[in-house]
A and B are shown apart, each in its own frame.
Chain A
């Protein structure tokens, strides 16, 4: 299991670094926003993400050249229109984003070390961070959580080398 996840991370990462920046738009954007809408439906209904109404948040994964532009309208996250500048931007490399997602590292720590950067309206970025921190992780299946942790650990090593 460990060896498999190791080689998947390593090969996948090298492949991603080469291919993804060549694409005009990250093909996963639609799927990712769909996933956010299903996973965060309760929070959306409770109005916890209303601060993103008609605002554009741009998340950039620097090493993979992935740019995710998300906004919110009504009770849904939506893709942000092209050509309109973002209100708030967050960027870091893939290993650091995964470290945050898997609960391995604290975003403020990465910020102090200049590995995570914020631009535009700081309040949007900060509120997104706090909202995501407050999500109940027990809703993520145990295997998925464990997988995320493994890949995060592995990617941290791959990127460091």
Chain B
């Protein structure tokens, strides 16, 4: 089972490698990746340094080009694929079908991973991507229950990667434009949900207020844990009650399911968080490395240690974790 870890900077990449990542995924510093934030990600110089450090340590480097190209600037996304191929990255993680066609034709030797943003949730969908574009691996959307993941794994001819840990959003993966209703920009088009230039935090009488483009989306009382300022995690008055109408600030943690995922033949576990610091990367990668090693050694005898759970909870959005859709027996 491969441990695939996030890096938004060189120090984060080093933290991932030092703490046991098998593969690290990065993005270029523009809208071709879904963590397009100021000061984050890799220019050509740093991408080369990243590759050098990865090669020195015998790990793998993936490049996420996981947003949808715009009709008037497709060339920028093509250039990103060319840059990744030029780097000799071990794979590119793509969502846009046009871009996949381009990568397949132009760089037939470049391994393609289907991004979670492509939202392929059925065996025929995965098979289509395999036949058309020769994808080697697919990252499964976080909307599937464990049983559905197991069924897909049994039927799939491509490697499957699932999410182990990270901030959750509303999970309309590849289809979410919620952010753009308020800010004009969304993750799949502009690589950013709630762009920082539209976010405002203000201390007011009722607590800490969050505004997106001037629209109030939440208010936190003094001791309440906060989350990312996204519309889906805001609190709104519905039927006279102020509540999380769509999603609570929380992080997914599927560690408890590691034995089942391994038995199902899942080839890789992905950790989320390219926007986080090296300190986060070091802590969660070390924790997952230990857990995966334990599963490989003990199989079904595995149980989640309290110290692992504590570290993951501490670093979670809203300070809480969930099994998310994995734990939906009715699905």
Interface string of B38-49 (1 = CB under 8 A from A): 111000001000
- Closest chain-A Cβ to B181's Cβ sits at a distance in Å of 19
* A130-B8, A134-B9 as given contacts; A107 in contact with B224, CB under 8 Å: no
Residues of B within 8 A of A118 (CB): 201
> What per-residue 1/0 map shows which CB atoms of B172-216 lie under 8 Å from chain A?
000000000000000000000001110111110000100000000
Flag if B11 contacts A122 (CB, 8 Å).
no
Residues of B within 8 A of A130 (CB): 8-9, 37-40
Q: Which residues of A contact B249 (CB under 8 A)?
A: 112
Given contacts A112-B225, A112-B227, contact A122 B196 (CB under 8 A): yes
User: Any chain A CB within 8 A of the CB of B282?
Assistant: yes
B56 at the interface (CB under 8 A from A): no
Tell me the complex Cα distance, A100–B279, Å.
8
Q: Determine if A131 and B277 form an interchain contact, defined as CB atoms under 8 angstroms apart.
A: no
Q: Within the assembled complex, what's the spacing in Å between the Cα atoms of A111 and B196?
A: 15
Which single residue of chain B is at the shortest CB-CB distance from A135?
B11
Task: Give A122 to B11 CA distance when docked, in angstroms.
Answer: 23
Rounded to whole angstroms, the CA-CA distance of A121 and B38 in the bound complex is: 13
Does any Cβ of B come within 8 Å of A18's Cβ? Answer: no
The answer to whether the Cβ of B316 comes within 8 Å of any Cβ in the partner chain is: yes
Which A residues are in CB contact (< 8 Å) with B229? 122
Which residues of A107-161 are within 8 A (CB) of B? 107-109, 111-114, 117-119, 121-123, 126-131, 133-137
Q: Assign chain A's interface to a size class.
A: 20 to 34
A109 to B226, CA, bound (A): 10
Cβ contact within 8 Å between B282 and A103: yes
Q: Is the CB of A106 within 8 A of B315?
A: yes
Beta-carbon contact of B11 and A134 below 8 Å: yes
| Residue count of chain B within 8 Å CB distance of chain A | 42
CA distance A3 to B246 in the complex (A): 51
Give the chain A neighbours of B9 by CB distance below 8 A: 130, 133-134
Contact yes or no, B197 A123, CB < 8 A = yes
Q: Which of B44-60 contact A (CB under 8 A)?
A: 46
Given A118-B201, A119-B202, A136-B11, A103 and B38 contact (CB-CB distance below 8 Å)? no
CB–CB B197/A103 < 8 A: no
Cβ of A112 and Cβ of B319 under 8 Å apart? yes
Binary A-proximity of B1-31 (CB < 8 A = 1, otherwise 0): 0000000111110000000000000000000
A-B contact pairs, 29 of them (CB 8 A): A51-B39, A103-B282, A104-B279, A106-B276, A106-B280, A108-B277, A112-B225, A112-B226, A112-B249, A112-B316, A112-B317, A113-B226, A114-B224, A114-B226, A117-B201, A118-B201, A123-B196, A123-B199, A126-B37, A126-B39, A127-B38, A128-B39, A130-B40, A133-B277, A133-B278, A134-B10, A134-B11, A135-B11, A137-B11
Q: Add 13 more A-B contacts to A106-B277, A119-B203 (CB < 8 A).
A: A103-B282, A105-B279, A112-B319, A113-B226, A114-B208, A114-B225, A117-B201, A122-B197, A123-B195, A128-B39, A130-B9, A133-B9, A136-B10
